[in-house]
């Protein structure tokens, strides 16, 4: 099973104020998830998005 990276957690902590506002990974974060494979794919995409924000 995939896990959220420390970078994702850091981005969320920096940007979560009220409904995620202008968070740079929000477009990936708000995608619908269906099933375990969907969850794993979502985690991969959110991790990738965070990598682009924090290098």
pLDDT one-digit tens code per residue, 1-52: 789 999 999 999 888 877 787 899 999 999 999 999 999 999 999 999 999 9
**Strand, coil or helix: what is 46?**
helix
- What CA–CA distance (Å, rounded) separates 30 from 22? 12
Q: pTM value?
A: 0.85
| CB proximity list for 18: less than 8 A, separation 6 or greater | none
Structural domain boundaries, residue 19? 6-53
Q: Are 33 and 42 in contact (CB under 8 A)?
A: yes
Q: Are 53 and 11 in contact (CB under 8 A)?
A: yes
Confidence band (pLDDT; 50, 70, 90) for 54? confident
Our count of domains for the chain comes to 1
Residue 1 included in any domain: no
**Strand, coil or helix: what is 44?**
helix
């Amino acid at each position: 099973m995939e896990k959220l990276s420390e970078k994702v957690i850091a981005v969320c902590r920096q940007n979560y104020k009220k409904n995620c506002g202008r968070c740079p990974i929000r477009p990936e974060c708000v995608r619908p998830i269906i099933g375990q494979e969907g969850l794993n794919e979502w985690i991969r995409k959110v991790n990738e998005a965070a990598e682009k924000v924090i290098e």
